[in-house]
Structure 1
């Protein structure tokens, strides 16, 4: 939470503003990812209900402008040099008070919590994907003629909500694309950051603070190779390959337990379909024989 506040993604609401206008307070909790031990993520619950309503019921989703997941992933695998980055869109100032939350300053849990508000769109808000997708497509259209066609195409076609993934054939082309894409986004006051690439030259061309932590370390010699999540799929950066790590939980020996195990592997492009098919056949046999 302190990182969110330090980055400027959230700000404190001063005492004089607390009762000045309508507002909504969002519940939040921490989540540990099973494949990222020790790393906690803050989740804001925009579906939490109060007096029979929630924030998401009052937000418009807009038209579906999201690029297809399969298309983005396929283009990410096409070239020799892969690039991945992230972004966040800011919320209009007059709407930020609908994204308030409570938190203890400095982690002093015995003190009275202070009121904060988010300045960027939340992952769990119903309107966030529509706002983000429209913003990118509008930005790409505005940049036509002033910026390169490759940069505009990357911004328009190769983002899946907040994650940008693309690939090109050379380091030089990649460095140029990253520079032009950042300039294009900067014209719309949008900040591209958290860059990852399988090319050390591309990472070296960027400021350290704009890359993910340890992005420059692509060594395979010691310890476990650097693995990033690319739209839900594990991407080994150094070898530039997709990997699958299967952790079988102790589910009950029921149809629901078997289904949970089979469905736990996310494989959109069907790389390990032959292996998953074994579990699906077991599930099919259980359903056919009406096993409890």
Structure 2
């Protein structure tokens, strides 16, 4: 975010508010930008943005493929959108007003990174992620397909046959994505030995205060599904709504 020093008639100002999630171990407060808010002309920023084609497998395919591995392995990218800069010619379409103190003067800023809430953000983020595989993947041929086929936006859902293979994925994927300034966190698997080996490694990128999120006997959320690590089971919660059934009386 940088200050605005000029006035442009084509600028767009994004409404924003905070969403607090106490159940999150990492980002408990997230800023949400409403790029679908329509302006005086009845058009929003999202109305004019191109969303791009899908670049990753459908979620149901990804989950089913993930469950085929003897050892399931997952992680996610730290603040994925915020690692990607947008063109300077487009930053005026991401303006905000802000002040650090309620008594301070309101100032104008523009966001210089891909912003959550804009229609094009998922495509841009995934395209940049996959471009790292294109640009740097020649030295990591066995990891390229993992990036292209086993991510759902910023969530990695992969797996392996053995602990050694899983640790190899951890090391090489961490190394490859770091070349694009993408940092992986919250590594966890269904294998106790692999979990301990990854967590013991100095390159896990899991700060000490966040390691409470990795518990071998815990149930964690992955793409909205509860994953029981101890039993390696997926649990889906739902509300069953039963309509009253009226039966006619005999006679």
Which range is displaced more, 172-181 or 139-148? 139-148
Distance 1:59 1:69, change over 3 A: same
Trace 1:183-194 onto structure 2 (pairs within 5 A).
Answer: 183-187=175-179, 189-194=180-185
Q: Distance in 1 between matches of 2:202 and 2:220?
A: 18
User: 1:49 maps to what in 2?
Assistant: 38
Trace 1:20-99 onto structure 2 (pairs within 5 A).
Answer: 22-33=10-21, 39-51=28-40, 52-77=42-67, 78-86=69-77, 87-88=80-81, 89-94=83-88, 95-99=90-94
The two structures, once aligned, show a CA RMSD in angstroms of: 3.3
Is contact 1:175–1:205 with CA below 8 Å preserved after alignment? no
- Which portions of structure 1, spanning 4 or more consecutive aligned residues, are displaced by more than 6 angstroms? none
Deviation, 1:147, is: 1.3
Distance 1:284 1:21, change over 3 A: same
Is contact 2:73–2:157 with CA below 8 Å preserved after alignment? yes
Q: Distance in 1 between matches of 2:149 and 2:178?
A: 18
Out of 129, 134, 159, the residue aligned to residue 136 of structure 1 is 129
Deviation, 1:164, is: 1.8
Trace 1:79-158 onto structure 2 (pairs within 5 A).
Answer: 79-86=70-77, 87-88=80-81, 89-94=83-88, 95-105=90-100, 108-149=101-142, 151-158=143-150
Over residues 147-201 of structure 1, what are the superposed CA-to-partner deviations in whole Å (9 max), with x where a residue is unaligned? 132x1011100111222221223332222212222332233x2313223213121
Distance 1:237 1:42, change over 3 A: farther
Aligned length: 235
Deviation, 1:133, is: 2.9
Deviation, 1:285, is: 5.3
Q: Distance in 2 between matches of 1:24 and 1:130?
A: 21
Is contact 2:13–2:95 with CA below 8 Å preserved after alignment? yes
Q: Distance in 1 between matches of 2:200 and 2:47?
A: 45
Is contact 1:82–1:165 with CA below 8 Å preserved after alignment? yes
Superposition TM-score, scaled by structure 1 size: 0.67
Deviation, 1:55, is: 0.9
Q: Distance in 2 between matches of 1:156 and 1:36?
A: 27
Structure 1 residues not aligned, in runs of 5+: 1-10, 247-264, 266-275, 287-292
Deviation, 1:35, is: 5.3
